[in-house]
């Protein structure tokens, strides 16, 4: 009987803060890094997650990369996904093929092929182009002034 229980146990590799498994569920806990097919976080924190399906409810993600990523009533630093759904959450950087945003949510930097939902961009592609050009000109001028000051002094 004990051999049968061991044979049915899932394969999990962990190294202090890193967990690798088929499915990982975090409830009111924290993991530094997780690599799994399915990752589910409820009232928890994950530093970095990679998986086919990542779901976060009332939790935080440092960074996530996966096929389908869903975050509800939480926050995330960076998300890279094929499909992403954001509901009542804040995301700093979101890069995805398809994004669905439900209000009230906020995404600081969004790059997507297709976006659905109620969202007003703070900076669209034209504004980003102008911002980049202005930043480049300003940085160039300060660099030139600094080189002149170094030559004189």
Cis ω before 104 (30° cut-off from 0): yes
> Does the pTM of the predicted model rise above 0.85?
no
Confidence at residue 118, expressed as pLDDT on a 0 to 100 scale? 81
Considering the domain architecture, whether residues 20 and 57 belong to the same structural domain is answered as yes
Question: What SS3 string covers the chain?
Answer: CHHHHHHHCCCCEEECCEEEEEEEEEECCEEEEEEEEEEEEECCEEEEEEEEEEEEECCEEEEEEEEEEEEECCEEEEEEEEEEEEECCEEEEEEEEEEEEECCCEEEEEEEEEEEECCCCCCCHHHHHHHHHHHHHHHHHHHHHHHHHHHHC
Structural domain harbouring 18: 2-122
Same domain assignment for residues 95 and 131: no
pLDDT at residue number 22: 86
For residues 55 and 96, state if they share a domain. yes
Are 9 and 65 within one domain?
Answer: yes
Q: Are residues 147 and 85 in the same domain?
A: no
Predicted confidence pLDDT, tens digits, the chain (153 residues): 454 444 444 555 555 556 778 888 989 999 889 999 999 999 999 999 999 999 999 999 999 999 999 999 999 999 999 999 999 999 999 999 999 999 889 998 888 999 999 887 777 778 889 989 999 999 999 999 999 888 886
Same domain, 9 and 26: yes
Structurally, the chain folds into a number of domains equal to 2
């Amino acid at each position: 009987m004990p051999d049968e229980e061991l044979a049915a146990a899932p394969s999990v590799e962990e190294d202090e803060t890193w967990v690798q498994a088929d499915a990982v569920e975090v409830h009111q806990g924290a993991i530094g890094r997780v690599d799994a097919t399915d990752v589910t976080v409820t009232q928890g924190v994950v530093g970095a997650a990679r998986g086919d399906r990542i779901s976060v409810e009332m939790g935080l993600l440092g960074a996530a990369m996966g096929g389908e990523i869903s975050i509800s009533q939480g926050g995330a630093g960076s998300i890279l996904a094929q499909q992403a759904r954001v509901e009542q959450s804040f995301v700093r950087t979101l890069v995805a093929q398809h994004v669905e945003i439900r209000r009230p949510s906020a995404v600081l930097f969004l790059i997507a092929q297709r976006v659905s939902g109620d969202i007003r961009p703070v900076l669209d592609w034209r504004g980003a182009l102008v911002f980049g050009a202005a930043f480049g000109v300003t940085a160039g001028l300060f660099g030139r002034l600094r080189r002149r000051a170094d030559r004189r002094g």
